[in-house]
């Protein structure tokens, strides 16, 4: 299960607004604020799963307690395989300057 602090950290790391996370995850902005605010409201597990899936799709990897010693729970950017590394400096020239 992910924590409110992990959700806040994930959103901050990605630089996303609540509305952007809502669009990505299908979870209402109000519910995201409820999760992030650690309210006493009961949050359905399906909401947490959808929020987690949306943040993971956006590039977050959740780290559980003890998964990455010596630290505790947290988030990090996941390795991205769909990015273009661009041109190496030695391959730059006037024809590909654009």
Instruction: Summarize pLDDT for 85-96 with one digit per residue, the tens.
Output: 677 778 888 887
Would 56 be classed as within a structural domain?
Answer: yes
Q: Name the domain count of the chain.
A: 1
State the residue range of the domain holding 21: 4-77
Q: Is the Cβ–Cβ distance between 25 and 53 less than 8 Å?
A: yes
Q: How many CA atoms lie within 13 A of 92 on its CB side?
A: 6
pLDDT at 73: 81
Residue 75 confidence (pLDDT) above 80: yes
Average pLDDT in the 70-75 region? 80
32-67 residue pLDDT tens: 999 999 876 788 999 999 999 999 999 999 988 766
pTM to 2 decimals?
0.73
Q: Is the Cβ–Cβ distance between 45 and 35 less than 8 Å?
A: no
CATH number at residue 62: 1.10.260.40
């Amino acid at each position: 299960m992910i924590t409110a602090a992990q959700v806040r950290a994930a959103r901050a790391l990605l630089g996303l607004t609540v509305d952007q996370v809502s669009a990505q995850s299908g979870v209402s902005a109000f519910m995201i604020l409820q999760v992030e605010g650690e309210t006493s409201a009961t949050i359905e597990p399906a909401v947490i799963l959808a929020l987690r899936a949306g943040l993971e799709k956006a590039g977050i990897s959740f780290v559980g307690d003890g998964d990455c010693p010596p630290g505790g729970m947290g988030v990090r950017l996941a390795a991205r395989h769909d990015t273009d590394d661009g041109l190496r400096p030695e391959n730059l020239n006037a024809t590909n300057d654009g």
